[in-house]
């Protein structure tokens, strides 16, 4: 089962991908997390990516495509995966189609998380991430038991640098300029389903699982050739 989670910054893609990945036992592949890991590690890719991430701009296609290609070819993706934050441009969407075609495969489903700008701003201004294990919190909607401390590992919680208001506005601008075309691309291909996401995390999770069960009832039979 190969799924793409599409939607503006703060739509809740990462939150849902975490849960669905556990439920369906397929990896959650977040292009944002992979890029941030490269930044943290100080690799050549990370040094290049940092410049764009901090400004709220998209990292050049070739850098992201190479990272995603490597990840999809890993063994744990044989039964499928959830792509979160990729593709974000038409060119990335076309490369992904080509990549899967070469593996004798294709995307099964694209879930588009539609959310208002007001929700995005509220969600991103309150988002906190564990600096140790990466767990995701929200000061109001998903608060930790002790303020500023991760429930899972006791790590310190941080506000992501690109979640400051001016960068969020830039990310939203970039999204409407470059990623809305990707929504249209998948609408035309007939595999996109839209989920109204100005509701609670639990309601969205139930809707996602219903879509998956309804559209992919035989998902355990799906397999991909991994070179």
- Shortest Cβ distance from residue 115 to ligand AP5 (Å)? 8
Chain-centre distance for alpha carbon 96: 15
- Shortest Cβ distance from residue 103 to ligand AP5 (Å)? 19
Residues that bind ligand AP5 (CB under 6 A): 7, 9-15, 31-32, 35, 52-53, 56-59, 64, 85-86, 88, 92, 123, 126-127, 136, 138, 141-142, 162, 171, 200-201, 204
Active-site hit among 36, 88, 123, 219:
88
- Shortest Cβ distance from residue 47 to ligand AP5 (Å)? 14
User: H/E element holding 25?
Assistant: none
**Residue 15 or residue 45: which is nearer to ligand AP5 going by CB?**
15
**Residue 127 or residue 219: which is nearer to ligand AP5 going by CB?**
127
- Shortest Cβ distance from residue 6 to ligand AP5 (Å)? 9
The three-state secondary structure class of 103 is coil
**Residue 180 or residue 220: which is nearer to ligand AP5 going by CB?**
180
Active-site hit among 2, 123, 127, 219:
127
171 is a catalytic site residue: yes
CA distance 214 to 17: 18
CA distance 94 to 89: 9
CA distance 179 to 53: 16
79 is a catalytic site residue: no
Residue of 138, 154, 158 lying closest to 146 (CA atoms):
154
Q: DSSP assignment of 151-215, as one string?
A: TTT-PBEE--GGGSHHHHHHHHHHIIIIIHHHHHHHHHHT-EEEEE-SS-HHHHHHHHHHHHHHH
Residues marked as catalytic: 13, 88, 127, 160, 171
């Amino acid at each position: 089962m190969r799924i793409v989670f599409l939607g503006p910054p703060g739509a809740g893609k990462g939150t849902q991908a975490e849960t669905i990945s556990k439920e369906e036992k397929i990896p959650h592949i977040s292009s944002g997390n992979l890029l941030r890991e490269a930044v943290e590690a100080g690799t050549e890719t990370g040094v290049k990516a940092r410049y764009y991430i901090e400004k709220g701009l998209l990292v050049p296609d070739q850098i992201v495509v190479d990272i995603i290609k490597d990840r999809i070819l890993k063994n744990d993706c044989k039964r499928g995966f959830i792509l979160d934050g990729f593709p974000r441009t038409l060119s990335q969407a076309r490369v992904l189609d080509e990549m899967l075609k070469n593996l004798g495969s294709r995307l099964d489903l694209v879930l588009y998380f539609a959310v208002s700008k007001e929700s995005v701003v509220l969600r991103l201004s309150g988002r906190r991430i564990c600096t140790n294990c990466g767990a995701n919190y929200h000061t109001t909607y998903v608060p930790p038991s002790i303020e500023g401390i991760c429930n899972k590992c006791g790590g310190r919680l941080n506000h992501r640098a690109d979640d400051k208001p001016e960068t969020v506005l830039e990310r939203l601008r970039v999204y409407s300029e470059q990623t809305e075309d990707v929504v249209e691309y998948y609408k035309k291909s007939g595999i996109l389903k839209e989920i109204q996401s100005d509701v609670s995390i639990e309601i969205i999770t139930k809707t996602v699982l219903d879509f998956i069960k309804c559209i992919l009832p035989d998902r355990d039979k799906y397999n991909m050739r991994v070179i």
